[in-house]
């Protein structure tokens, strides 16, 4: 069994999605693959066990026959934090290495690091410790945020030393894609970094469901319950004069429109455009006429007692940062990865 460690020095770089996309493609080629997320942060109860919700989704997508705890050996909870600060030996490292040793029948085990290179240091499961102890091949997943992204890749390359495998550039703004391919990638190659893929930022992959928006604003659903699993790619705030609203709404597709519950003029205009849902702030009672129009158009209405600023703040913080738990996203990225990732070069570097 060959462990491949996906690391980053920032959160939300797409490590889990890339691991799943790779695993699905390799499984299709006949390889035995497995997955482990070292530090779970989204507690989910399964068969009287607490595991990470995102990890369990990936475990299910891979149709793994291994116990669910294999994909998520450790999850941060308040109870665990209390035990750590009390000085209790949690034996997390032992558990993780025991699970790894139990998967020797696999060809590849994809291991996902914490959000940063040193996360998990107090537990003995930070990236550097895992690389040293397992001597695992290390793949950096890096979002493109300008030249500092190069620093992260080269810094991790130096720290991983002989265990460094290469890098993936992810969530690249489309207008910078060719610049990276023609300028940044050759620079990295000259520095000894193999770049296995460059992925453009994708609105669908960064979208959230109406259901997730309902949760994040702690709202109530007025109508459109059957549309809760629709994907929302953008959001707009409806706080302008009606005369300015329509051109504004027409420019953005597949959006949620956030506006005050009393702004019925804005709500009507929003529903004339590509709107996935209305989020009405500052009250819990939507106008009856608005509800009837929304029902006829199949547009969900969410009401929340939050003010517009607070609702926008919460939504802004999750767009592009939602955990992976939608099959449609996973299957789409599997197709993208098959085209944009150098799978043959990857397997060659692993001697598989």
C-alpha 85/C-alpha 83 separation (Å) is 6
- 87 and 151 housed in the same domain: yes
Picking from 284, 299, 287, the residue whose alpha carbon sits closest to that of residue 223 is 299
Q: Is 118 in contact with 127 (CB distance < 8 Å)? A: yes
Q: Is 147 in contact with 70 (CB distance < 8 Å)? A: no
Give the CATH number, domain containing residue 224.
3.40.1390.20
Q: Is the pLDDT of residue 184 over 80?
A: yes
- Tell which phi-psi region holds residue 91, choosing left (phi > 0), alpha (psi between -120 and 50) or beta: left
- 179 and 257 housed in the same domain: no
- 11 and 154 housed in the same domain: yes
Picking from 1, 2, 21, 15, the residue whose alpha carbon sits closest to that of residue 343 is 21
- 60 and 163 housed in the same domain: yes
Name the least confident of 119-123, 141-145, 157-161, 264-268: 119-123
82 versus 21: the higher-pLDDT residue is: 21
Residue 318's pLDDT is what?
A: 84
Give the CATH number, domain containing residue 51.
3.40.50.300
Q: Is 263 in contact with 243 (CB distance < 8 Å)? A: no
Residue 325's pLDDT is what?
A: 87
Picking from 58, 50, 5, the residue whose alpha carbon sits closest to that of residue 323 is 58
Whole-prediction pTM: 0.88
C-alpha 168/C-alpha 126 separation (Å) is 20
Q: Which domain holds residue 253?
A: 208-316
Residue 80's pLDDT is what?
A: 84
- 124 and 185 housed in the same domain: yes
Residue 175's pLDDT is what?
A: 95
Number of domains in the chain: 2
Average pLDDT, the chain: 94
Residue 147's pLDDT is what?
A: 87
Sign of CA dihedral 48, 52, 56, 57: positive
- 71 and 153 housed in the same domain: yes
Q: Is 319 in contact with 206 (CB distance < 8 Å)? A: yes
Residue 210's pLDDT is what?
A: 96
Instruction: Label residue 79 by pLDDT band (50, 70, 90).
Output: confident
Q: Which tokens go with 121?
A: 């240091």
Rounded to an integer, the average pLDDT of 153-165 is 96
Instruction: Label residue 243 by pLDDT band (50, 70, 90).
Output: confident
Instruction: Label residue 320 by pLDDT band (50, 70, 90).
Output: confident
Residue 67's pLDDT is what?
A: 93
| pLDDT cut 70: percent of the chain above it | 100
Residue 308's pLDDT is what?
A: 94
- 289 and 165 housed in the same domain: no
- 191 and 117 housed in the same domain: yes
- 128 and 161 housed in the same domain: yes
Q: Is the pLDDT of residue 141 over 80?
A: yes
- 193 and 237 housed in the same domain: no
Q: Is the pLDDT of residue 142 over 80?
A: yes
- 187 and 56 housed in the same domain: yes
Provide the 10 A C-beta neighbour count for residue 206.
18
Distance of CA 126 to CAs 19, 103, 107, 288, Å? 19, 21, 24, 54
Residue 225's pLDDT is what?
A: 96
Residue 269's pLDDT is what?
A: 96
Residue 86's pLDDT is what?
A: 86
Q: Is the pLDDT of residue 283 over 90?
A: no
| Residues in a beta bridge with 341 | 197
- 279 and 237 housed in the same domain: yes
40 versus 284: the higher-pLDDT residue is: 40
Q: Is the pLDDT of residue 14 over 90?
A: yes
pLDDT in tens, 20-35: 999 999 999 999 999 9
Q: Is 352 in contact with 32 (CB distance < 8 Å)? A: no
Rounded to an integer, the average pLDDT of 98-111 is 94
């Amino acid at each position: 069994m060959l462990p491949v460690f996906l690391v980053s020095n920032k959160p939300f770089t797409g490590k889990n999605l890339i691991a799943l996309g790779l695993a699905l493609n390799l499984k299709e080629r006949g390889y035995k693959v497995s997955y482990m997320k070292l530090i779970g942060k989204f507690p989910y109860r399964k068969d009287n066990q607490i595991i990470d919700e995102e990890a369990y989704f990936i475990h299910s997508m891979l149709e793994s026959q291994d116990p669910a705890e294999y994909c998520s050996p450790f999850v941060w909870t308040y109870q665990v934090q209390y035990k750590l600060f009390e000085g209790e030996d949690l034996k997390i490292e032992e558990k993780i290495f025991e699970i790894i040793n139990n998967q020797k029948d696999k060809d590849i085990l994809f291991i996902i690091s914490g959000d940063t290179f040193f996360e998990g240091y107090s537990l003995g499961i930070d990236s550097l410790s895992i690389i040293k102890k397992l001597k695992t091949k290390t793949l950096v997943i890096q979002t493109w945020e300008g030249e500092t992204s190069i620093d992260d890749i080269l810094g991790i390359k130096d720290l991983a030393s002989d265990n460094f495998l290469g890098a993936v550039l992810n969530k690249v703004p489309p207008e910078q894609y060719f610049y990276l391919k023609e300028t940044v990638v050759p620079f990295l190659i000259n520095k000894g970094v193999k770049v296995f893929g460059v992925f453009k930022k994708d609105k669908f992959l960064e979208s959230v469901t109406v259901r997730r928006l309902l949760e994040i604003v702690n709202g109530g659903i007025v109508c459109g319950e059957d549309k809760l699993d629709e994907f929302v790619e953008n959001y707009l705030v409806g706080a302008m004069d009606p005369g300015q609203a329509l051109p504004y709404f027409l420019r953005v597709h597949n959006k949620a429109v956030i506006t005050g519950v009393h702004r019925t003029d804005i709500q009507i205009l929003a529903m004339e455009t590509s709107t996935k849902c209305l989020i009405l702030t500052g009250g819990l009672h939507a106008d009856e006429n608005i509800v009837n129009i929304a029902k006829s158009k199949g547009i969900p209405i969410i009401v929340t007692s939050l003010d517009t600023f607070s609702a926008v703040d919460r939504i802004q913080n999750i767009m592009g940062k939602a955990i992976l738990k939608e099959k449609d996203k996973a299957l789409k990225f599997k197709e993208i990865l098959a085209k944009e990732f150098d799978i043959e070069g990857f397997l060659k570097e692993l001697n598989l």
